[in-house]
Structure formats: structure tokens, C-alpha cells
Chains A and B, each alone.
Chain A
């Protein structure tokens, strides 16, 4: 099942078998980005995503950056994500 959530910069969100960390958000030439970390048992990935971009990890799923909020204060910097888990061969989600 697809999950959508928002995350403050500096905070974490727990998904099945993974923790999503949002390190930082910013923008270059008006294009917002988010620096995201995904930690799974024995595996760490880090990616700078633009809005609409995905981070796909084998056997786990796809994390898409939906939106970035660039507030004046760091307490108002956040990103919105969509996570789609991989479905296994039997059609049961991982």
C-alpha cells in the first residue's frame, strides 16, 4: 500500500524495515531539493532528490519526493514523500 507522509528537516520517519531521515532541504535556481537518508538493516543510502524524483532500492520499494517546504525558519523546513513498497511474486507487499 502506498504511504504518504511529511517530515521535518532533522527528523525521521519509520517505515517497515527502514528509517527515512531528512537531513536538509534547499533550493538551487528555484528548484527545491531534499537530502534524504534511507537506513535498512545492513544498508545505508543517501540521495539528493528534486521534487518528483525517486529513490528506488531493490527489494524494498520506491521513495518519491512530492514536495518541499522552504520556510524562513528551520522549524518550518520539511518535505513530503510517497513510499511505494515492492510487491512480491505472490502479489503480497514486502
Chain B
């Protein structure tokens, strides 16, 4: 799929032509988002042309990435994505490909700095909230919403089919489809929910809160019941015409021979199957709106807050604030976010966000060869999960620095897990906070993560390295070339040497080497932990060498040092990556290049606050994407 390389003479003439065009453009432009990079012979740009121009200049550029076109554009906006990608590839030394001339580290920095400067010309006063597809309640949200709505917690959605995952999370509007089978389940669940509610005196009284009498006509009472129920279920005031249709539904059922109780049940079921309940509806801005952007209304914001932090419907206070029109106030929003984080319901953020961010869901289904790992049991599996969630919970509840996810010198264990780690003096099943042995720091050295990044019979330094790059550093390596040869393994393979030696042979291929160098060095830093996260000094008969050198010449030896080095040298990458994940979860859509200004604002805010957890949440709930809706 390689396009023919152009002779460089032609490239030079193209460049010259571009210079003329750029000079003209610069001469006429005044706007700050217009490309005005000072002297055209700026060294960063010259280096970009020199090292990238062969393949990425002019029509028919490799991968459709055409710097000529991008530089000629007076606005950055249309090319934020390609510029960001280029920046990352250059900075991570993934481009130019190994087969081409390589810039020196200093030249590389200059190219990256030039691209960064270009990106900074983006006008961040313009709102770019992005578009969220209306979200169906996922299984967790459905269960919790029902529990809050009717006061009976019995997890009807556990029988629903699994929700699909997009961008690492199961609450993404685009991916939450509604297959016909699910509609059957919704109907049946609604029937069961209403039946149980009507049979439970307490729950019934909460919903059927009035009785017809001399003061109250049956129809007025029915209206009151339905108005309250539908308003809470739809998470906004029910409209009069909607209410009227519900009343008529009851009346028709009565005419058809239903008892008053059955007839009311029919209407309650209809509410629970209505798209207004099953989806979090947000209307698009009107088609004739000049910006195509509208601020969300108070009720929509209340739902965004409650589903982000609690995975359930808004509580009384949020409804109250919404009805008073106070939720568009930034200080109120921040205050509410802090209140919600302190509420027990914020456990949802631990169970849903944290477990998906760290891919802990995989733990449930990993298998380990019992002959090689007799210590691995279902109990240990559950303990591993609990440890990591406990650390997240602690950072959240104590409002600590998010950097402690990488550097915490403490953790939470019970007796079984303590034994697994070689920590003395812990008895019983209850988890408690303990100091970690010096070899372990932060979540990456937790048994949970070391296990989900391994294979059933052995560790996989490549998977671990890839996981670190994706999940912790937010810089996933590009996928391998299609014909990548897998690692030789099994009997006989050992003759070729230790796993590290074999991997080194494997990456002798320069095309693989660029990325593997980065993945493997991270993964091997964790080789002292076996496939269930126990400490080991040897792998089979080979002693473990857990030292390495990161790009930029930073050396480390062993897992703890690796984590400390990452928290220092790659701090911004970690924070940006973590922010992207939380923003994805909060919005229910993938983060797009247009979110650049939002991410940068949050980063500054986070740094200023000493990386405190609550400040990240506050910054997210007061960001444009969280408070506005775009048509596109």
C-alpha cells in the first residue's frame, strides 16, 4: 500500500509554491486562529518538511495525511485530529518509520514544538461541546434507577443481555443498541417491577400516595399519582398531554374489564417501557440555530450529574435545584459534585468507572492453569478486585492526588491477599490499609492488573507494556503490521533463551522495533511479578532483569522505581489519559480532537489543585461538553 515516492526536486518546488501561498495568507490574516507562524523558515517546520515531506506532502500522501494542505489552511480547526496525531507520533518516536532517515532527539523536539505551537493557535473561546447520541440506560443504570424509583432493589436488569462496550466503557450512547430481545425483557421487567411494587405495602404507599374521597375525585387522585411517577421516571416534569394520554390508558383498561389496581399497573408499566424512561433524552438545538449549540436545561444537567457520579436518577435535591433553575450556576455545580462524591451512592463511580478504566472486568473471566498457579482461586480473584477498588475508593473519598494511583506506598488487603504479597500480620477476611513492601507501588503493581495482563500459563511483558501505554499513559501503541510474526514458544523455544532474549530476537525487525522497544521496556519492568502477581526472582531457570531505560535516557531498576519514574517523567501523559477516560465516561461518547481546549483547561486546573480527585470531577462537570449540546 505504499505510494511511489516523489523525487525530492519536485517536493522542493511544491514547497516553494506553498511558501508563496502562505506568505500571502499571512499577509491578509488578522484572526488569532489563522496560521501565522512567523518566519516561514522556522526550523521546526523545515525539519518537519525534511523528515516527513517525502511521504506526507501533497496529493496522494501516505495515509491521507497531507502537511501541505494542513499548513495551507488558514484555520487549525479542520485539522486538529491530524495535527495531534502527528504530534504524538513524532514525540513518541513512532514516526518517521525506522526505514527512513531519523531526526536527532533535539530535532524531534523542535518538530514537536512547532506542531504544538500550531495547535495552540486553536481559538479556545469558541464552544465545541461535541455530540452525544441519546443514551439508553445500561444494565447497571437500569437496576439502580429502578431501585431509587420504586424503592425495591432487586436487579431486574441482571437478566438483560450484556451491554456492548465502546471506548472502554459500557455507557456510550452510540454503542448502546436496543435489539428486539431487549424490548421483550423491558416489558417483562416492567410487569415484574410493578407487581412487586404493588405487593409491597411500603413501596405501594410511596407511589399510590393519595386516595379518592370527598375532597379528591378519583380522576384527580389518579392524575397526581401518575404525574409524580412519570415526572420522576422521565427525570423532568411530565407534560400535560403526556399525562392525559396516561390517564386515558388507565381508563381504557378499566373499560376492558381491568380492576382499578390492574389499570393503574398498566399505566405504570407503560411509563417504565416508554422511551422517555429508557433513554436519557436530550433534544438537539433547533435546526435554524446559527451555532448549532444549545445549553442543556437544568433537568438535563441533573441527569448528567447523577448518572456520571451515581449511575442512577437525580435525587430530591437535584430535582429541587433543577426546578429552581440553579444548576447552570458553576459554583452550585461544583458544590453539588462535592456533595455527590461524599454520598454513599458515589460507590457507583468505583464499581463502574474505576473497574472499566483499569479493565478489571476481565478478572472475572481470566483462567489460570491450576498446576502452575495453585494459589489462584475464585476467592483470591475477588480479593484482587477488591484491593484495587479499595484504593480508588480511598483516593476518591479522601480527595487525594490522582498521582497516588501510580505511587501509593500503601494498599488494602485481607489475610489471603496479604499472604499472596508476603505481608505479615493481617488476619481475617476484612480489608484494611497496610504499608506496601518496597517492591510495590500503586495500582499497576496490584495482583489484579498483573493478572489481567497475563496469559493463562505465563506473563506477557508485551501485553503489560501495551496496557500501561494505553491505560496509564494514554498513548496506545499503533497496531502491529498485519504480518507480524508471533513469538516462538512452547517446548524447544526455551533453547532460544529467556523470554526477554526471545523478545529481543523478535524485535530485531526494525518495523516492529520502534513500538516494541517502548512496550517491552515497560512490561519487563514488571517481570518480577508472575502471572498472578506474586513476587519472583526467577522465571523458570532465568533470573529476572527488571531494569530498563525509557525514552529520554531515564533509567530505572525494578517495578517501584518504574512507577515513580512514570509518575514524574510522564505525569502530564498520565493526567491527560486519566482525564480523557473520565470525560469519556461522564459524557457517554468518545473524546474527539475538538475536545482539546476542554482537556487543556482541565489539565491546568488539575495541576493547580495538586491533582486532587474532586477538582478533576468539578472541572469535568463545569466543562462545555458537559453543559452544552451540539447538533453535530
A, B co-complexed: no
